[in-house]
Structure 1
Amino acid sequence: MNMIRTILFGLFLCVASQVFAQHLASPDGNLELLFRLDNGIPTYQLAYKNKTVIATSRLGLEMEEASLTGGFLQKDVRNSSFDETWTPVWGEYASIRNQYNEMLVTLTQENEYKRVLLLRFRLFNDGLGFRYELPEQETINYLIVKDEYTEFNLTGNHKTFCIPGDYDTNEFAYTTAPLSEIKEVMEKRLCKKGYESKATSFTVQTPLMMKSSDGLYINIHEAALVDYSGMLLNVDDKDFRLSSHLTPDKLGKKGYLQLPCRTPWRTVIVSDDARDILASQLILNLNEPCRLEDTSWIKPQKFIGVWWEMFTGEGRTWAYSDYNKAKPGVTDYTAITPNGRHAANTAHVKEYIDFAAENGIDAVLVEGWNEGWEDWASYRKDRQFLFTKPYPDFDVEELHHYAASKGVRIIMHHETSANAADYERQLEKAFQYMVDNGYNSVKTGYVGYVIPRSEYHSSQWMNNHYIHVVERAAAYKIMVDSHEAVRPTGLCRTFPNWLAQESARGGEFESMGGNDPDHTTILPFTRLKGGPMDYTPGIFETRLSYYKGDKMKEQVGTTLVKQLALYLTMPSPIQMAADKPSNYRRFMDAFQFIKDVPVDWADSYYLEAEPGDYITVARKAKGREEWFIGAITDENARTAVIPFDYLPKGKKFIATIYEDGKDADWNANPQSYNIRRITVTNKSILKQRLAPGGGVAISLKEVTGKILNK
């Protein structure tokens, strides 16, 4: 290895006709990158423990004003190493190690234009990140992106976990199939959201999870998506080639750049152990450090909300009236007859506040509080919602004082109906209104087709919009939970007030045909690699026939206990107890786990994992000697083997086990469960049965007195 590094540092120049190679190894030596300039075309390869992960794949950018895809000479190569440990504001770990070896390649086109392109590669122990950089130069300044020629050429017909590529939504069910079969399978199981914009070629979304026939787990995504278009992956299912597909605007433009600039990082996480994929912090490490000087106001939290009852078919609505010609800020709502089904009313919200206060829940989300819901998804109105105008039956001031007296916060809801342009016009007044009325968190929504009408949810303008909202929110000390936005790329490190996003098919789909039992065993390997998700777990009553009668055909994809385990397997600093208080009162002994489980962690240990099949994880609470364990499975029952060797030596712990009942089943009997207690030490091993579509949730508290085993 020393000889390779000596040669690498000594080689800097080549001619375009040569095949010229540069090597880079990860700090532990398991990953090796090979960069070649092949007849002037930049290419790379990636290997893990001598197994090829990415075969020779080309690199390059095509601009309308300049082609940066070939004709290059290698001007310079600079290698460096970096190793630090940084402290996140919240997350799965109290500290994160950021260690990598870097290679910066300078390429020039030796023609009249003298264009310069930099390629920066960072090789971590868990994967690769690389990006394009364009420094200031004399012959080009403003550029319009025509295409990006980044390839990820695979070595075979890998097992793939994916959703269709779409410019406007990520809320699809996952397909598990060999790469050669995913197109047919995805089209058969497509469940539409209502505002899809299918990509112009056969594409899949990132993060893309794959498993090779020789046992490698491979995850492809991007990091630090700033001032650029979101990336899908073109799929060649015959030759097993993937390539970047940038989301255009509706004029067909894929980005507007001004030098100096850089693209997001393209990422490849790889291991022969699926647990390493879940534990990887590579995406966060490739993002810039926190930009906020003061983060003391950022508080992870659990919340309940006036939300689920609008999905269950009980007749509750977001809208105050049935008058569909209402114009926010113009119509006198006090003169309009209310429909009697409006859930966001003062008395009802107080009931939620009372329940939160009684059970130690931090906050209450209220949807449908403000003017505009009568015809909200029209895509025709220049102004849909007003974010400082409550409906007549929602008393903001009274609820502010009532919640404060109970030690509970109210979470603001800003559904924009994807009218991002108008949201930006109202943003400062909306955030000031929140501050004036005691709100410190907002759930934003972007349901529908985007306004400006030339944009998609993942195009460059919208990606900049999401960041703008988070930056302005930080100025008002407001935390953000965004829904229907572009899928995350680790920007929560830079902006830790961006607590979570939806950007995938979440728990609400239990009211829309259900999520398959394997869905939540895939999401941590895919969607969650970019950042936390507001999945809305904790739904105890998933059988909608409970509300609508036996006439409804339904499918439930989870047991009640699995809903508890999701608080561990799908970590987020903002977690919803998504069901209605009335349902929690029916199962208060099980609800105790939701009351106890933290949302911020000091350490995490992934104990078992296989994408699409099962996940078992143990986490230590931040700031106290308590541990929690969650395990989930797909439609197949299994026995989870749970060690406790991460516990402190010489100490005993009470393990309260929330387990599936003997007759529990994800579809036939989802609410069967049992609660028992045992004593464990760091030498204990628990073999725990998980029902089909089920799980287990365990809380561990140090023994301080007499223990009762039962």
Structure 2
Amino acid sequence: MKHLIFTSLIWLALFSGAHAQQLKSPNQAFIMDFSLQSDGTPTYALKYKNKEVIKTSKLGLELKNDEKSLLNDFTVVDTKTATFDENWKPVWGEVAEIRNHYNELAVTLNQKGTDRQIVIRFRLFDEGLGFRYEFPSQKNLTYFIIKEERTQFAMAADHTAFWIPGDYDTQEYDFTTSKLSEIRGLSEKAKTANVSQTSFSTTGVQTSLMMKSADGLYINLHEAALINYSCMHLNLDDKNMIFESWLTPDAIGDKGYMQAPNTSPWRTVMVSDDARDILASKMTLNLNDPCKIEDTSWIKPVKYVGVWWEMITGKSSWSYTNEYPAVQLGITDFSKAKPNGTHGATTTNVKKYIDFAAANGFGGVLVEGWNEGWEDWFGHSKDYVFDFVTPYPDFDVKGIQAYAKSKGVKMIMHHETSGSVRNYERHLDKAYQFMNDNGYDAVKSGYVGNILPQGENHYNQWVVNHYQYALEKAAEYKIMVNAHEAVRPTGISRTYPNLIGNESARGTEYQSFGGSKPNHVTLLPFTRLIGGPMDYTPGIFEMDLSKLNPDNHSHVNSTIANQLALYVTMYSPLQMAADLPENYNRFLDAFQFIKDVAIDWTESKYLEAEPGQYITVARKAKGTNNWFVGNVNGETPRTSNIKFDFLEKGKKYTATIYADAKDAHYKTNPQAYVIRKVVVTSKSKLSQLSAPGGGYAVSITEIK
């Protein structure tokens, strides 16, 4: 169903001046006020249930090499309003159908003295506000350079925020919880080392930014549809509690090269007095264009295993030999090199993972370190570091593919660019064709290290355009993409559903680099996952990593029950069972949940939620009547209480509950769990202990 009405009166009210408009959400809970200040500066304000969320905030853009920026001296020359209502079906997702319902106000502004026009388009949903700048085709505004976008988000109070430092190159930080006024004093402590990072301000933070007000409002600031534009951060004026947009610059400091007609991404403000509404919102997806891929039959969710965890922990290596201090592709002869004996991507080792995948119903096997060049791939500003098609002597591409095919398993390709995006684009067609020729239909791409050419950043316009180019090119070859170290997703998976995963946050690998806070996974769904699914790589059962590598003294800050729950709470159509097969064989009864859990859903119900503390989610597997429940808990133990009223009335189900034991603790007793089976109906309730860093998972099947 699609319904669109344009009008000059509906949801449009004049107030306090000739150039003031008011827009209400379909459910009337939100009111957005637009007005021009006396100097012609555009502003907006937002209320939710009569509570002030965004105080009067300025809009506009500062231009480079221009006598006059797009900041003030505007007059309103036209306003249009509309209401839109449709239901659409995602290729994969948390639900089978999504409603896209909003009221819209488009304000056309003309700037005195330049005769330039911009449109500010507002869309007000029942979950919150989206707005963007539009630059129509016109003779007085054709090519222009953005020095800075000056969008403001004026907070109504000194809220509690769950934040990570503003950074042009990485989101791989643990979250800090503090008042807004405390960000400056905590900014240095909040930073942790990363192979590529560029922070810009002691009050800079990244989106998606989650906040909670003293009177119980949950507020989220983010962006949607990041296309041909720089990624937006937020910089806080902590005297006035005003966030202002801060775009990622290029190597010479410019923040955007624009040609009209064009648009900015959407700036989003989600608000509710119930945290579950933030998690359930599909507003970010709805602000993106519909799917542009005609035939999507080749895009399929997948559970996979791979050699990655043994490499991350140091049990094995990406490189083939230790003989060469430096290698050059096409010159270095690896056939004459002595193998180092630790290489993970060998034909023999990979076949073990293929056997494990086939025996346990996993659809894919990811292999990293299969291709020449890993000996000196990082830290040398090396442009031609990989060619993405030449395997090491101990990796038989054709033989592996034939073996996997005989077992009913797909191989997943790995492309590490080492930040050399220009080199990747040079090889992209050849690399994707190589995948087609050898039966690979999914790729994990990586952008570790500083971007080349030097001075560029992971999140500026030029590199954002590269990620989009690689994604669209992949669609031409019917290849699904899981991009690591790329810019955070902003709902683009609606338009290009072959983007089945991203990293773009602190993932499980950091448990091998010293650990993450136990409440980390209670915040990612409120922040990073607002824009799209994350390849978090859960399923770790051996928490003492010295047992994999005596030199690695890290500890995974999670219980086994928590790891199981992540397959439900951390939504993704791409889910890895990341641990080694031998560790799963030690805990086969717990491993059963990973084997059973679905990765594509018809319904999702958020049962409990409090950012930084706990999340409980129930999801119905697509094409079945089976449900799965996941609960993840932070530092403080608690008892979770849920109802099974999402089940079909009049039917009985078997619920298999995988829970923390009474003495479980992420640090001291992480492998203590209990499993029990009970019969449940829609009238049943569950009261279940969640340990520190723990949780529980439930598999629910109908009794026929």
TM-score, normalised by the number of residues in structure 1: 0.96
The residue type equivalent to 2:35 in the other structure is R
**DSSP 3-state at the match of 2:383:** coil
Name the residue aligned to 2:339.
338
- Distance in 1 of aligned mates of 2:281 and 2:352: 41
Confirm or deny: 8 A CA contact 2:8 2:81 kept in the other structure.
Answer: no
Choose from 79, 91, 94 the match for 1:77.
79
**DSSP 3-state at the match of 1:602:** strand
The Cα shift of 1:139 comes to: 1.5
The Cα shift of 1:380 comes to: 2.3
Once the two structures are superposed, residues 330-381 of structure 1 have per-residue CA deviations (whole angstroms, 9 ceiling, x without a partner) of 2111011111111100010000000000000010000000011001113422
Name the residue aligned to 1:565.
565
The Cα shift of 1:456 comes to: 0.5
- Distance in 2 of aligned mates of 1:539 and 1:657: 18
**Deviating runs (4+, > 6 A) in structure 1?**
none
Name the residue aligned to 1:528.
529
The residue type equivalent to 1:32 in the other structure is I
The residue type equivalent to 1:175 in the other structure is T
Name the residue aligned to 2:389.
388
1:209-288 to 2 correspondence within 5 Å? Answer: 209-288=210-289
Kindly tell me: are residues 301 and 10 of structure 1, through their superposed partners in 2, closer, same or farther at Cα, counting changes over 3 Å?
closer
- Distance in 2 of aligned mates of 1:538 and 1:409: 20
**DSSP 3-state at the match of 2:329:** coil
**DSSP 3-state at the match of 1:492:** helix
Deviates more, 1:18-27 or 1:260-269: 18-27
- Distance in 2 of aligned mates of 1:545 and 1:354: 26
Once the two structures are superposed, residues 441-475 of structure 1 have per-residue CA deviations (whole angstroms, 9 ceiling, x without a partner) of 00000000001224100000111100110111011
Name the residue aligned to 1:707.
none
Name the residue aligned to 2:660.
660
Once the two structures are superposed, residues 415-435 of structure 1 have per-residue CA deviations (whole angstroms, 9 ceiling, x without a partner) of 000100000000000000000
Confirm or deny: 8 A CA contact 1:129 1:267 kept in the other structure.
Answer: yes
The residue type equivalent to 2:53 in the other structure is V
1:627-638 to 2 correspondence within 5 Å? Answer: 627-638=627-638
1:136-151 to 2 correspondence within 5 Å? Answer: 136-151=137-152
Confirm or deny: 8 A CA contact 2:11 2:24 kept in the other structure.
Answer: no
1:408-447 to 2 correspondence within 5 Å? Answer: 408-447=409-448
Kindly tell me: are residues 80 and 397 of structure 1, through their superposed partners in 2, closer, same or farther at Cα, counting changes over 3 Å?
same
- Distance in 1 of aligned mates of 2:13 and 2:305: 61
Once the two structures are superposed, residues 606-650 of structure 1 have per-residue CA deviations (whole angstroms, 9 ceiling, x without a partner) of 000000000001000000110000001101111111111111110
Kindly tell me: are residues 5 and 29 of structure 1, through their superposed partners in 2, closer, same or farther at Cα, counting changes over 3 Å?
farther
Choose from 103, 107, 113 the match for 1:101.
103
Confirm or deny: 8 A CA contact 2:314 2:552 kept in the other structure.
Answer: no
- Distance in 1 of aligned mates of 2:453 and 2:74: 39
Kindly tell me: are residues 444 and 548 of structure 1, through their superposed partners in 2, closer, same or farther at Cα, counting changes over 3 Å?
closer
The residue type equivalent to 1:625 in the other structure is N
Confirm or deny: 8 A CA contact 2:127 2:270 kept in the other structure.
Answer: yes
Once the two structures are superposed, residues 562-601 of structure 1 have per-residue CA deviations (whole angstroms, 9 ceiling, x without a partner) of 0000001100000000001111111111110000001110
Check if 1:59 corresponds to 2:59.
yes
- Distance in 1 of aligned mates of 2:404 and 2:10: 67
- Distance in 2 of aligned mates of 1:642 and 1:9: 42
Report sequence identity in percent: 57
The residue type equivalent to 2:32 in the other structure is L
- Distance in 1 of aligned mates of 2:10 and 2:468: 43
Name the residue aligned to 1:488.
489
The Cα shift of 1:308 comes to: 0.5
The Cα shift of 1:518 comes to: 0.5
The answer for unaligned runs of 5 or more in structure 1 is 705-710
- Distance in 2 of aligned mates of 1:381 and 1:629: 46
- Distance in 2 of aligned mates of 1:57 and 1:493: 30
- Distance in 1 of aligned mates of 2:553 and 2:480: 39
**DSSP 3-state at the match of 2:173:** coil
- Distance in 2 of aligned mates of 1:76 and 1:207: 32
Kindly tell me: are residues 472 and 628 of structure 1, through their superposed partners in 2, closer, same or farther at Cα, counting changes over 3 Å?
same
Name the residue aligned to 2:313.
312
Check if 1:131 corresponds to 2:125.
no
The Cα shift of 1:328 comes to: 1.7
Confirm or deny: 8 A CA contact 2:635 2:693 kept in the other structure.
Answer: yes
Kindly tell me: are residues 544 and 606 of structure 1, through their superposed partners in 2, closer, same or farther at Cα, counting changes over 3 Å?
same
- Distance in 2 of aligned mates of 1:610 and 1:649: 29
The residue type equivalent to 2:115 in the other structure is K
1:690-701 to 2 correspondence within 5 Å? Answer: 690-701=690-701
- Distance in 2 of aligned mates of 1:311 and 1:171: 15
Confirm or deny: 8 A CA contact 2:14 2:22 kept in the other structure.
Answer: no
Name the residue aligned to 2:24.
25
Name the residue aligned to 1:92.
94
**DSSP 3-state at the match of 2:19:** strand
The residue type equivalent to 2:23 in the other structure is L
Kindly tell me: are residues 695 and 237 of structure 1, through their superposed partners in 2, closer, same or farther at Cα, counting changes over 3 Å?
same
Confirm or deny: 8 A CA contact 2:600 2:621 kept in the other structure.
Answer: yes
Name the residue aligned to 2:3.
none
Once the two structures are superposed, residues 541-574 of structure 1 have per-residue CA deviations (whole angstroms, 9 ceiling, x without a partner) of 121132345x865443210110000001100000
- Distance in 2 of aligned mates of 1:265 and 1:452: 29
Once the two structures are superposed, residues 122-149 of structure 1 have per-residue CA deviations (whole angstroms, 9 ceiling, x without a partner) of 0000000000001011112111111111
Name the residue aligned to 1:708.
none
The Cα shift of 1:239 comes to: 1.6
- Distance in 2 of aligned mates of 1:9 and 1:153: 23
The Cα shift of 1:5 comes to: 8.5
- Distance in 1 of aligned mates of 2:559 and 2:649: 34
**DSSP 3-state at the match of 2:548:** helix
- Distance in 1 of aligned mates of 2:9 and 2:265: 30
Confirm or deny: 8 A CA contact 2:187 2:203 kept in the other structure.
Answer: no
Name the residue aligned to 2:155.
154
Once the two structures are superposed, residues 8-48 of structure 1 have per-residue CA deviations (whole angstroms, 9 ceiling, x without a partner) of 75869x9xxx6732000000000000001111110000000
The Cα shift of 1:525 comes to: 0.3
- Distance in 2 of aligned mates of 1:419 and 1:161: 32
The residue type equivalent to 1:700 in the other structure is I
Confirm or deny: 8 A CA contact 1:584 1:591 kept in the other structure.
Answer: yes
Once the two structures are superposed, residues 655-689 of structure 1 have per-residue CA deviations (whole angstroms, 9 ceiling, x without a partner) of 00001112110100000011100000000111111
- Distance in 1 of aligned mates of 2:407 and 2:573: 22
Name the residue aligned to 2:606.
606
The Cα shift of 1:189 comes to: 3.8
Name the residue aligned to 2:4.
none
Check if 1:347 corresponds to 2:343.
no
Confirm or deny: 8 A CA contact 1:329 1:389 kept in the other structure.
Answer: no
The answer for unaligned runs of 5 or more in structure 2 is 1-6
Confirm or deny: 8 A CA contact 1:511 1:542 kept in the other structure.
Answer: no
- Distance in 2 of aligned mates of 1:334 and 1:521: 48
Confirm or deny: 8 A CA contact 1:442 1:480 kept in the other structure.
Answer: yes
Deviates more, 1:245-254 or 1:18-27: 18-27
Once the two structures are superposed, residues 264-285 of structure 1 have per-residue CA deviations (whole angstroms, 9 ceiling, x without a partner) of 0000010000000000000000
The residue type equivalent to 2:108 in the other structure is T
TM-score, normalised by the number of residues in structure 2: 0.97
Name the residue aligned to 2:671.
671
**DSSP 3-state at the match of 2:285:** helix
The residue type equivalent to 1:532 in the other structure is P
Name the residue aligned to 1:592.
592
- Distance in 1 of aligned mates of 2:190 and 2:557: 16
- Distance in 2 of aligned mates of 1:663 and 1:200: 43
The Cα shift of 1:192 comes to: 1.1
The residue type equivalent to 1:679 in the other structure is V
Once the two structures are superposed, residues 284-333 of structure 1 have per-residue CA deviations (whole angstroms, 9 ceiling, x without a partner) of 0000000000000000000001111112232x100001112111222111
- Distance in 2 of aligned mates of 1:587 and 1:432: 40
- Distance in 2 of aligned mates of 1:8 and 1:197: 44
